[in-house]
Structure 1
């Protein structure tokens, strides 16, 4: 069955992670994503280690389900080829610094005049407007400037960067939401629009608890280490043989946890009566609970919490979670065949749809693999003529 976005043609002019991730989300759900790359070098992510038979594994993860064409956008011929693709495209995505597309002669005004139904998505470090618009941005920079690093890490330690590229992934997700909203708006107006976000704003969007703290109190949120700003107990604990998570801030969960740990007296302790009390006295509470949890191995506590319907789980390493039977059952490890690497394993599609499910259909493309296929059909049965058939 075709995916939900079958019939949409997307031009992916992006590189690295944020833009390609956005385009991948659309491709997973059926859009025809044409990745436009520099001849000879392509997307810089192609050279990120580790490598499998010469192919960059990170590039392969977030560029599946796409076709690749090699076009020199600085040449007249390359610009002409792209503009022909624009004629039949629904969406164009780019993640250059603001102004870069204008300098190429391919800015929003040019593209919108050429195809008024085109929706253009842009990701930059700081956005298309504002005092910092001209600055270059990376995930590291946005994590630091958004406040994320100031609240991450040990309570008495230095600021800490999340070891995942959370700004890049979040920007890709936010832009995908915006692009789909623009497609829906186009059903009513018949016109495309510019959609943009930034790494900084995407990182900032995660400060839901911290923004509430600042707006309500006017004070700077402290770094809490493992603790949660609004719920307790709600963190990782060490057991006799490892680590588990315990999410028992809700009152009924808290009372059941005290029964399991054989400390029923804590329920009536004035320091821990309500969730707000427990948050205020979290350090003392954690020390008391930790003493009990060290007495038994992880599986003992996980079984007891399961029986009492208390949320919690093991802390798994990445190789463990990718082999976990639940993850496999949910289709979060997918396979396809790649001409260089053979069977290629990648992450599955996290959003499940009953009627038009997303899927991993194509391996990540080799540089320029589909240039002849795409550009050779642009005046025939390919993307240009798709404009006649795409959704209103």
Structure 2
């Protein structure tokens, strides 16, 4: 067992909160990693084959792929076969002392396993039972499966990409819905913990991908459809403009945002054309600039093509106009701000060697969130977790012999 006790690991604001996480892939694990960085003790419960995302991407050893590594820090792993009654019973016993139970499969599947909210509440009425899955359970899509790609299509993201590029519908090249829904689940969990501190009662919380993302997308694009009768066909013109994109310079690309009245005045002053500003009715206000956004962005693109990226970075920054380079997977590591704040670091992992780490982005004056544990091997902490849950060595050995507890080593070696 590694020398990283719960006391050592739980220095953040959620110190003392115990979360049982039976989620897998990305949406749930991303959420619980964030909670783990805040100091919660995350017990990751994996199936006998392990979290499938362990297998995605290049790896130094089997089951330790990069997406898994970057969504499962600050956790401990136990491998239980929940389809076996003894495995399910062991999980229920662990849940007796937990604060939160987190899952991301359809509720119907949890019910078939005998792990519905009612089953967990029966052993721990104060438990907060958080589910992240495709659709709300009060509509006709309740039992349908969902993935990030499907949700990007269903909530309008893919069609908005088509409108803004002039091409076919496309997915954003990020697991965006998974992460947004995961963060929504973190917010809900924190609020529920606060509410329980007042009421003393647990509750079930459903965080559906579809409804969460519809609200996220339409807060930008509902537009005139906000009104009844509608004032237009919806959509935020600036975000949908085909000219809204990184601009080509003489030697690369740059992101520049000329948005406010003062920024446009500064920009025209930089160009030596300030006298033209007040004569151009398109530039009178944010409202008129929105009406002519395609024209203005196209003109901006033409202007920015006349100098190098370095020249524009210097000149636009001096004029207090928001600007940034366009990074890729290589250049991001050399960003001067990220370098200065030591955003990227390294850790030595017992099996994977040297790994790059990403610093927690927030700054707290006292209880700073941080990575509190290295990424777990599958089932690495099974015996440790069960012992803390009050299981005797004989009971642990019986679980292993029954195949309900999967260990990388024999129970006799681990129990010595």
Query: TM-score under structure 2 normalisation?
Result: 0.86
CA distance in 2, matches of 1:51, 1:205: 37
After TM superposition, give the deviation of residue 91 of structure 1 in Å. Answer: 0.4
Which of 196, 215, 231 in structure 2 is aligned with 1:186? Answer: 196
CA deviations on 1:280-309 (whole Å, 9 max, x unpaired) are: 112222232222211111111111121121
Which of 56, 59, 65 in structure 2 is aligned with 1:51? Answer: 59
Equivalent residue runs for 1:1-392 within 5 Å: 2-39=11-48, 41-54=49-62, 55-153=64-162, 154-207=164-217, 208-216=219-227, 217=230, 219-221=232-234, 227-228=238-239, 235-264=245-274, 265-379=276-390
Residue range with higher mean Cα deviation, 49-58 or 238-247: 49-58
Question: Residues 151 and 223 of structure 1 are in contact (CA less than 8 Å); yes or no, is this contact kept in structure 2?
Answer: no
CA distance in 2, matches of 1:379, 1:213: 59
Query: TM-score under structure 1 normalisation?
Result: 0.91
SS in 1 for 2:207: strand
CA distance in 1, matches of 2:239, 2:360: 29
Unpaired segments ≥5 residues, structure 2: 1-9, 393-416
Question: Residues 73 and 376 of structure 2 are in contact (CA less than 8 Å); yes or no, is this contact kept in structure 1?
Answer: yes
Question: Residues 244 and 297 of structure 2 are in contact (CA less than 8 Å); yes or no, is this contact kept in structure 1?
Answer: no
1:68–1:10 CA distance, 2 compared to 1 (3 A): same
CA distance in 2, matches of 1:17, 1:166: 10
Residue range with higher mean Cα deviation, 295-304 or 323-332: 323-332
CA distance in 2, matches of 1:177, 1:119: 13
After TM superposition, give the deviation of residue 10 of structure 1 in Å. Answer: 0.5
Question: Residues 336 and 360 of structure 1 are in contact (CA less than 8 Å); yes or no, is this contact kept in structure 2?
Answer: no
Q: How many pairs are equivalent? A: 377
After TM superposition, give the deviation of residue 85 of structure 1 in Å. Answer: 0.7
CA deviations on 1:88-107 (whole Å, 9 max, x unpaired) are: 10001000112111111111
SS in 2 for 1:164: coil
Question: Residues 336 and 362 of structure 1 are in contact (CA less than 8 Å); yes or no, is this contact kept in structure 2?
Answer: no
CA deviations on 1:239-283 (whole Å, 9 max, x unpaired) are: 111111121211001110111133321442112221221221122
CA distance in 1, matches of 2:108, 2:83: 15
1:318–1:84 CA distance, 2 compared to 1 (3 A): same
SS in 2 for 1:327: helix
1:234–1:160 CA distance, 2 compared to 1 (3 A): closer
1:233–1:333 CA distance, 2 compared to 1 (3 A): same
After TM superposition, give the deviation of residue 222 of structure 1 in Å. Answer: 5.7
Question: Residues 152 and 161 of structure 1 are in contact (CA less than 8 Å); yes or no, is this contact kept in structure 2?
Answer: yes
Structure with more of its chain in helix, by fraction? 2
After TM superposition, give the deviation of residue 223 of structure 1 in Å. Answer: 8.8
Question: Residues 69 and 368 of structure 1 are in contact (CA less than 8 Å); yes or no, is this contact kept in structure 2?
Answer: yes
CA distance in 2, matches of 1:184, 1:379: 28
CA distance in 1, matches of 2:282, 2:335: 39
Unpaired segments ≥5 residues, structure 1: 382-392
After TM superposition, give the deviation of residue 327 of structure 1 in Å. Answer: 1.6
Aligned residue in 1 for 2:399:
none
Question: Residues 333 and 346 of structure 1 are in contact (CA less than 8 Å); yes or no, is this contact kept in structure 2?
Answer: yes
SS in 1 for 2:115: coil
SS in 1 for 2:19: strand
Residue range with higher mean Cα deviation, 235-244 or 63-72: 235-244
